[in-house]
Amino acid sequence: MSKLAKLIAAFLLLSVIVLEPLSVTADSLEQTVVVDSPTLNIRSGPGLTYSVTGKLKDKQKVQVIDRSDDWLQVSVNGETGWIAAWLTASAKGASKEKGKIVSRVNSLNIRSSPSIESAVIGKLRTGDLASLVEYQGEWASIIVDGLQGWVHTTYITEVDADAPESSPESAKNPKVTDANLFTVKVNKLNVRKKPTQSSKRIATVAKNETFQIERIDGNWIQITLEGKKSGWVYSFHGELSSANSVTSNSSPDTVSIVTNGTNIRVQPTTSSDIALRADAGEVFKVKAKKDDWYEIQLNTGGTAYVAEWVVNSSNVSTTSAAKVPKKEKRVPGTLKGLKIAIDAGHGGNDRGTTGIRGNDEKDLTLQTAELLSGKLKEAGAEVVMTRNSDTYVSLRKRPSIAHSEGADAFVSLHYDANPDRSIVGFTTYYTKSAQQSFAQSINDGLAGSVDLHNRGTQSANYLVLRENQLPAVLIELGFLSNSSEERVLTSSYFREQASQGIYKGLLQYFDGQ
C-alpha cells in the first residue's frame, strides 16, 4: 500500500472513532423534554432510592443526555442527574399555558396557605372551576371570584384555559362563591369597619358563631352583625358555607355495588339475615333511605337493604353496570399502572392518641400520608386519600372509598400508645391470611429504612382490614407514649424515611406478583 493510501485509511478510521460519538452526543443534546408535574426531583441515579440532588419546576425544559429504562439523565445548569421519564412530556407543543383547574371531589377545602394546618377559607364542589395561579409542591394556588387560596393537587384536574365556566355537574351544586354564611373558627375575631387590618375595630366575634355574608372582597368578608350593622373579617379565620348546601335526605335513584360478595340484608342492620350477595357493578333501584341504609328493589320483585358505605349512589337511572375504566399496564420496577389508597388514621373530632409531648396522632398521620402520596405519585402510581384534611371519616367508609375508586392496595397509617411507656417500635398489622404477604413486604421495607425497633407483622381484628377486599395493612409507626420515640416520630426526617420504606415495601410486593 502506498504512503498516500495509508494516510487516507488512517484518516477514515480516525473519522469513525472521533466523529461518530460526537454525532451521537449532538443528537442526544438536541432531545429536550418538559417537566409535566408540579415539581420533579432530580436524583443522583436512575431510581427512587437514589438521593435527591435538586428539583425542577412544572413546564421547565431540560436536555436529555442518556436514558436507563424509565429514567432520563439530564443536564441542568452544567450539572447532571436523573429524572423520571413518566413525569415528562415532549417539548413539541409544550408551550400551552395553564389556565384553570376543576375539582374532582365534593367539598374540597380551599386553604389560606399550602399546608393542611392552615385555615379553611372556602370549598369547591365536584365540577367547580377556578383560575390556576401557580404550583408549590403538591399544592395549587387558585382564584375563584376574587378569593385566592390553595388546594391540594390530588383532588384537582387541569383543564384548558378556555374551559366553560359551568358544567352539568357543577350546576347542581352551589359554588363556593354561592356561600352566604361565615362561621368563626378562632377563639376571638376582630370585626373591622373596612377590609383592611389597619381599619378601626367595631366588634369582636367568638368561635363557632355564624353570620350572614353580605359581600366578599378578596380575602375579606363583610358580615351582618346585630342591629343591622355590618363589618369586615379576615376570611382565613373562619369557614364559608351555604344555607343551600345542607345535605339532602332525599334518596338517589340507583346504587351500584363496589365489591364482589356484598351482603344485601333483609333488615337495615348488620345483624340481619342475608337476602343475597351482589357483585361489583350490579345496579339496584332505590326505594327509600333509612339512616345509613338504602332500601333497594330486587330483581325478584321484593325489597332488601344495602349499607350506604358499600355502594356508589347516582341520580342518573341506568339498566346496566357501569364500565370499569381500563387500567394502565403495570410497569415493573415502578408503581406505574397501580392505584394505592392511603388512609390517614383518625381526624376531625377523633384525635387518636396524644403523645407525652402533646402531639396528636391525627395530625401526624395526615402529614405522613401526604408525604407518602407524593412519593407514590412520583413512582407513577395513582393515589386515593381517604381524607386530605382534618375531617372525620367513619371506619366503614375508609375501605369503601378504596373499593369504589378501584384501588389495588390499602395502607392505613397510625401511631401507637401503651400505658407501659417503655414499649417502643413499629408494627405492621393484617387481619386476613390473604393480607399477610402484603404486610410482610411493607414491614420489610420499613425495617430497611427506619431506625426503630421492628415488632414485626401481627394479626389483629381491625375493621378497616376486616371489611377490606384488597391487599391491606394497618401500620403503627411507633409509640407516642414513649417520650424519646415521640421526639423521633415527630421529625420530618422520620416521616421521610418511613414513607420511603413503605414505598419500597409496595414495590417489593407488586414486583413479586
pLDDT > 90: what percent of the chain?
A: 23
pLDDT tens string 339-369: 999 999 998 888 899 998 889 999 999 999 9
Question: Which range (6-10, 110-114, 464-468) has the least confidence?
Answer: 6-10
**Domains defined for the chain, CATH in brackets:** 28-94 (2.30.30.40), 100-178 (2.30.30.40), 181-245 (2.30.30.40), 254-314 (2.30.30.40), 339-511 (3.40.630.40)
Residue 319 is predicted with a pLDDT of: 33
Residue 48 is predicted with a pLDDT of: 65
Average pLDDT, the chain: 77
Residue 470, phi then psi, degrees to nearest 5: -100, 165
Highest mean pLDDT out of 15-29, 320-334, 382-396, 469-483:
469-483
Burial of 210 per CB tally in 10 Å (0-12, 13-18, 19+): middle
Q: Give CA angle at 108 (104, 111), nearest 5°.
A: 135
Burial of 466 per CB tally in 10 Å (0-12, 13-18, 19+): middle
> 293 is written with which cell numbers?
341504609
pLDDT tens string 249-277: 455 677 777 666 778 888 887 777 888 88
Highest mean pLDDT out of 76-90, 139-153, 173-187, 478-492:
478-492
Q: What is the largest CA-CA distance in the chain?
A: 112
Query: 381, 384, 377: which is closest to 405 by C-alpha?
Result: 384
Residue 477 is predicted with a pLDDT of: 96
The Cα-based distances of 495 to 185, 238, 373, 478 in angstroms read 29, 30, 12, 11
Residue 408 is predicted with a pLDDT of: 92
pLDDT tens string 47-80: 766 778 888 887 888 888 887 766 788 888 888 9
Q: Is the distance from CB of 488 to CB of 452 less than 8 angstroms?
A: yes
Catalytic residues: 476
Highest mean pLDDT out of 133-147, 203-217, 234-248, 489-503:
489-503
What end-to-end distance do the CA atoms of the chain give, in Å? Answer: 64
Confidence of residue 312 (pLDDT cuts 50, 70, 90): low
Confidence of residue 146 (pLDDT cuts 50, 70, 90): low
Residue 105 is predicted with a pLDDT of: 64
Residue 390 is predicted with a pLDDT of: 84
Residue of 400 and 330 predicted with greater confidence: 400
d(CA 352, CA 346): 6
Question: Which range (4-18, 177-191, 444-458, 486-500) has the least confidence?
Answer: 4-18
pLDDT tens string 439-494: 999 999 999 999 999 999 999 989 899 988 899 999 999 999 999 999 999 998 99
